[in-house]
């Protein structure tokens, strides 16, 4: 699974010994992959997800990213990761500015967002069934996708938030699983 996902690409961007924050860590399934690279912290709005993540070794804090600042001091992290989380917040620029604050000066932000334009999603939209790409009900928190991003839009938001060295690297997945 890791080979055909963005997770392998993320791991390749993280140096061993890093202090890592997974924003919107959920149940810790993805964040636990980062443990091989360093110390992993996570924030999430769901108490249920937080408990599951802690069982996997993630140091978690409950945080509503729409209403609270990240509960960490300035320059605390080497890497901050958003794995399909940025589309769930009301004000992405505000959260990205807050991310800039908790990153050390040489820190790295890694963002993945869903590809809403992939063929399977286009078919769902065409037949009038967008709910499974707009809603995320895994933990019963009814957290919805509030934004759809493109590469230029992500770049623009990062610039607004004060980031300057920006690179976009699309991560593709094999076509076969989408056809099954």
Here the CATH number for the domain that contains residue 92 is 3.40.50.150
pLDDT at 139: 41
The answer to whether residue 140 sits within a structural domain is no
Task: For residue 123, give every residue at least 6 positions away whose Cβ sits within 8 Å of its Cβ, in sequence order, or none.
Answer: none
- Per the domain annotation, does 62 fall within a domain? yes
Q: Following DSSP, what letter does each residue of 14-28 receive, concatenated? A: S-TTEEEEEET-TTS
63 domain residue, yes or no: yes
Residue 49 lies in a domain: yes
Q: What is the pLDDT of residue 175?
A: 45
In this structure, is residue 166 part of a structural domain? Answer: yes
Look at residue 178 in the predicted model and tell me its pLDDT. Answer: 40
User: Is residue 136 included in any domain, yes or no?
Assistant: no
Over its length of 180 residues, how does the chain's per-residue pLDDT go in tens digits? 455 467 888 898 899 999 999 999 999 999 999 999 999 999 999 999 999 999 999 999 999 988 889 999 999 999 999 988 888 788 999 999 999 999 999 999 998 887 666 676 667 667 776 555 555 454 444 556 666 777 788 889 999 999 988 887 766 554 444 433
Torsion of CA 87, 160, 169, 150, to 10 degrees: 50
Total of domains in the chain: 1
The answer to whether residue 129 sits within a structural domain is no
Classify residue 142: in a domain, yes or no.
Answer: no
pLDDT at 123: 74
Structural domain containing residue 99:
2-116+147-170
d(CA 108, CA 123): 35
pTM of the model: 0.80
Question: Looking at residue 150, what is its pLDDT?
Answer: 75
């Amino acid at each position: 699974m890791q080979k055909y996902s963005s997770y392998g690409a993320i791991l390749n961007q993280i140096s061993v010994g890093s202090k890592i924050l997974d924003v919107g860590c959920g149940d810790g399934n993805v964040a636990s992959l980062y443990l091989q690279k360093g110390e992993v912290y996570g924030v999430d709005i769901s108490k249920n997800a937080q408990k599951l993540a802690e069982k996997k070794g993630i140091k978690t804090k409950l945080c509503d990213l729409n209403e609270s600042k990240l509960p960490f001091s300035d320059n605390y992290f080497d890497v901050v990761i958003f794995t399909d989380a940025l589309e769930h917040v009301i004000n992405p620029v505000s959260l990205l500015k807050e991310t800039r604050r908790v990153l050390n000066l040489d820190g790295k932000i890694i963002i993945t967002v869903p590809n809403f334009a992939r063929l399977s999603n286009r078919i769902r939209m065409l037949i009038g069934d967008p709910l499974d790409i707009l809603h995320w009900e895994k933990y019963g928190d009814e957290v919805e996708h509030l934004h759809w991003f493109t590469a230029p839009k992500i770049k623009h938001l990062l610039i607004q938030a004060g980031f300057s060295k920006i690179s976009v690297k699309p991560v593709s997945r094999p076509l076969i699983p989408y056809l099954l």
